[in-house]
Structure 1
Amino acid sequence: MVLDVNFADKHQAEAHCLVLFVSPAAPAKTLDFEPSFLLLLFCLIFKTETDIAIIRVRVNEKIKAPQVRVIDEGGKMLGVMSSDEALAMAREKGLDLIEVSPKANPPVVKVLSYDKYRYHLEKTLRQQKKNQKRVEVKGIRLSVRIGVHDLEFKAKQAEKFLADGNKAKIDLILRGRERANISYAFEVLKKFLEAIKFPHVTEQIPKRMGNVISAIIGPKVQQPT
């Protein structure tokens, strides 16, 4: 979903502000709120959404550069012309003039329907969201008295987490008199980590917190050859 925000604050009026987030619910809307209030409103209504992008876009008369490099609606480069000339051409076609590369010299603009531009932004965001892999931290619990079979089984479990691109947090729980032999507990955890054959890196070295010794490992990034 793309919300086109026209700020009430006149100092913000030099550009549209597009607030993008993925929602299957509604089409694009135009709202007129202060930015801080608007983002707070989004967070309250869409509590499960965390991916929000804010894009400032200059459109039509809000493009202040005296000259621009123009791309037409078919993607053809038309060259450099004055902003007034480019805007007149866009108006003649019933389209808008959108600044797509403001840092270029001169800025690059495209003749396009603004509604179509918002639609493509939303489509791009959805695709990025779909392709994005969220890294999770998976938990594995061990005991000092873990047997060989269970140790191998849980090592395989850790390898699966790593192969899926996730991290693994290993917690070795100390009970009763086991707390008196901490060095042995660290040896058990070390043995477990050595049993994990999938390439990995240690993100948190084994350390004790109360009755738990913990370590965190993550998949090792393979360097291209």
Structure 2
Amino acid sequence: MSRQLRVNEQIRVPQVRVIADDGTQLGIMSTWDALAMARDRGVDLIEVSPMAVPPVCRLDDYGRLRYEQNKKDREARKKSHSMELREVKLRPKIEEHDYQVKFRTAERLLFDGDKVKVTIMFRGREVAYAQQGRRILERVAADTAKFASVEREPRLEGRNMFMILSPRQDVIAAVAAQKAAAAAPKSTS
């Protein structure tokens, strides 16, 4: 959980607004009365909104509340996919089949929602033929135009020429919808 909740005797304010575990408002009462009510019910008094006037407290099992909050946090982290920058490295004298393998790798990474840095590595005097590397990068950009856009144009830095591709959001949304439909349990009617 992002912040630590105050529980039972840790609550040091004179009055609190109390909410039962089923969500009903029990009203404003002294902290000691609320603690006594919590003990009678066998639950904890948990301060859920300390900045409110008076602070809002909930009668609930603290362990269960923490478990449910952690479960929500885990689900939120699972659903949020941060976009990573992945790299595919090519050489200026690449054969067709090798190009296709590297292209499929870049395609898979883009469909996973990651950005792809396509790098042409030059060795020795190959850097004198930078136009050949630029042609390969332009071919990759043309081949991926249906599902990716060029975020950074081809650029030569040292002995490497690279460009960055980012996935188009409409395609990523369509792929996510297909995955969700495939993962959904099929009804037997």
Q: Which of 95, 98, 106 is the aligned partner of 2:43?
A: 95
Kindly tell me: are residues 107 and 200 of structure 1, through their superposed partners in 2, closer, same or farther at Cα, counting changes over 3 Å? farther
Q: Which of 41, 58, 62 is the aligned partner of 1:110?
A: 58
- Name the larger-Rg structure: 2
Where 1:181 maps in the other structure, the secondary structure is helix
Is residue 176 from structure 1 mapped to residue 152 from structure 2 by the alignment? no
Amino acid in structure 1 at the alignment position of 2:109? F
Instruction: Select the structure that is richer in helix.
Output: 2
Amino acid in structure 2 at the alignment position of 1:182? A
Is residue 214 from structure 1 mapped to residue 142 from structure 2 by the alignment? no
Query: How many residues were matched structurally?
Result: 172
| 2-structure distance, mates of 1:203, 1:91 | 60
Amino acid in structure 1 at the alignment position of 2:130? I
Amino acid in structure 2 at the alignment position of 1:55? R
Is residue 162 from structure 1 mapped to residue 110 from structure 2 by the alignment? yes
Where 1:169 maps in the other structure, the secondary structure is strand
| 2-structure distance, mates of 1:167, 1:143 | 20
C-alpha deviation, 1:172, in angstroms = 0.6
Q: Which residue of 2 aligns with 1:56?
A: 4
> Would you say the 8 A contact 1:170–1:216 is kept in 2?
yes
> Would you say the 8 A contact 2:14–2:31 is kept in 1?
yes
Q: Deviations over 1:183-225 (max 9, x none)?
A: 4422331232122134334444433333211222222334x9x
| 2-structure distance, mates of 1:198, 1:67 | 62
Q: Deviations over 1:92-126 (max 9, x none)?
A: 22221111122334332110122222222333333
C-alpha deviation, 1:55, in angstroms = 1.7
Amino acid in structure 1 at the alignment position of 2:157? M
Where 2:4 maps in the other structure, the secondary structure is strand
Unaligned ranges ≥5, structure 1: 1-52
Q: List structure 1 runs of 4+ shifted beyond 6 angstroms.
A: none
Q: Which residue of 1 aligns with 2:176?
A: none
Q: Deviations over 1:40-86 (max 9, x none)?
A: xxxxxxxxxxxxx5422111232234433322122222233333332
Unaligned ranges ≥5, structure 2: 174-189
| 2-structure distance, mates of 1:83, 1:194 | 68
Kindly tell me: are residues 197 and 154 of structure 1, through their superposed partners in 2, closer, same or farther at Cα, counting changes over 3 Å? farther
- Provide the identity percentage: 37
- Cα RMSD of the aligned pairs, angstroms, is 2.9
Q: Which residue of 1 aligns with 2:85?
A: 137
| 1-structure distance, mates of 2:16, 2:152 | 52
Amino acid in structure 2 at the alignment position of 1:67? Q
In the superposition, the TM-score normalised over structure 1's length comes to 0.63
Amino acid in structure 2 at the alignment position of 1:190? E
| 2-structure distance, mates of 1:165, 1:104 | 41
Amino acid in structure 1 at the alignment position of 2:108? K
| 2-structure distance, mates of 1:137, 1:162 | 10
